[in-house]
A and B are shown apart, each in its own frame.
Chain A
Amino acid sequence: MSGQKESVDKQLVDRVRRGDKSAFDLLILKYQHKIISLVGRYLRDQNDIQDVTQDAFIRAYRALPNFRGDSAFYTWLYRIAINTAKNHLVSRSRRPPNTDIDIDDGEFQDNSAVLRDNESPQDILATSQTEEVIFRAIENLPEELKVAVTLREFDGLSYEEIAVIMDCPVGTVRSRIFRAREAIEKRIALMDNE
């Protein structure tokens, strides 16, 4: 699984290095959420977080010819993002944290406590509404779609592993996960339009 993951990123990186800028768009889209979460652990202001995220991607783009591929692209991008956030704190005469955030912590620790004091009640409400819509949409999914998307998103299983568990072809798993996401997406769109 991880091998294939690196391989997709590597293909995109290779394309960028051959001059295809649009391949970098896919890398941005793929990692934007993660980098925002990571930077959000260092900074509090939403605008700062977005600016630093943007800066991190630009730095990564500039440094791409030097990316040797010894590590996974995300690990490399992650380091750039942390350094960008620290530099931002220094430039604002604020002391960066003494310890670095572990790569897994950056992804999975709940940072709601760090951010709580600078969020407006509307922000908190909007976020919890989105969460509620997503969870409710999952509850209303047909059983086979619910199981497939849950095994993928909660348990992080690959399509092959899910296919074994659900005793169906990999193509069916792929289709079920997509249909589940599409159904949830429709619910989010309804919420946005309300």
Chain B
Amino acid sequence: MVKIKETISAFIDEEANEVETHRFLRAMKQEVKDRDDPDIGEQSSLIRSLLNFMSIRTVLSKQPQLKGMSVADHEMLFHRIRAAIEKESVAQDLSSGASLRSPAVGLAIAASLVVIVTFVIFNLSKTESMEVVGSDSVNQTSGDREVETELRDLDIERQRHLREYLNEHDRIMRTKRTSQFVTNEK
């Protein structure tokens, strides 16, 4: 939880990387889902934290703020807007690849993709405490297709194709000799 909140803090500063943003997005989706679930109820702490952090910014950077609008009001407004967007049809990009819009291909991709974005905390007592990217699978929603995934979670054909590049990259980078560095090439 602390880790994801730190990501939120970095996100509002434009300092979260793509993988972190993806992780945050996933956590937020879960939170919104839980909120909509009457058995779980309202526990929107990530959204509340983000709005709190934005309110702190508004005050500290002396941006004009709407007097009397509390963080809770902001949160209510956010859920209102989100509910209204939910009723809208999907804002698909007309210019994106036609093949991906085909329902059959879309379903196939959705079915075949399982994303592994994982974060196993290693206690590296010999060094500083660090986080190691490991493995933990999370089901991918169809809306997430084409986002960054670990290589092994792609279908066999794509993996094969990309592994050829990866192997060639490894071969060149890990076997070439000093003399093969070019000093002045454009």
Contacts and interface: CB of A to CB of B under 8 A. Distances in A.
Interface of A: 1, 4-5, 8, 11-12, 14-26, 28-30, 32-34, 36-37, 40-41, 46, 49-50, 53-54, 57-58, 61-62, 64-65, 107-112, 115-116, 119-120, 122-124, 126-127, 130-131, 134-135, 138, 149-150, 152-154, 156, 158-159, 174-175, 177-178, 181-182, 184-185, 188, 192
Contacts of A32: 51, 54, 74, 77-78, 81
B80 A54 contact: yes
A61 B86 CA distance: 11
A109 B74 CA distance: 21
A62 B55 CA distance: 27
Point out which of A12, A108, A127, A178 has the most chain B C-beta atoms below 10 A from its C-beta.
Answer: A178
- What is the predominant secondary structure among interface residues of chain B facing chain A? helix
Nearest to A29: B50
Nearest to A12: B21
A188 to B, nearest CB: 6
Contacts, number: 211
Contacts of A178: 5-6, 9-10
20 contacts: A11-B18, A16-B91, A17-B92, A18-B100, A21-B90, A25-B32, A28-B81, A29-B78, A37-B64, A37-B66, A107-B63, A112-B67, A119-B67, A120-B68, A122-B68, A127-B68, A152-B13, A153-B56, A156-B61, A181-B53
- What is the predominant secondary structure among interface residues of chain A facing chain B? helix
Contacts of B29: 22
Contacts of B71: 188, 192
Given A17-B96, A24-B91, A58-B88, 13 more contacts: A32-B81, A36-B65, A36-B66, A46-B69, A50-B77, A53-B81, A110-B64, A112-B64, A134-B59, A135-B59, A159-B15, A174-B9, A185-B49
B136 interface: no
Interface in B133-179: 141-147
A127 B144 CA distance: 39
Contacts of B59: 130-131, 134-135
A175 B3 CA distance: 10
Interface residues of B, number: 66
A45 B83 CA distance: 22
B67 A124 contact: yes
A141 to B, nearest CB: 12
Nearest to A133: B59
Interface string B36-70: 00000000000101111111111111111111111
Interface string B1-37: 0000110011111111010010011001100100000
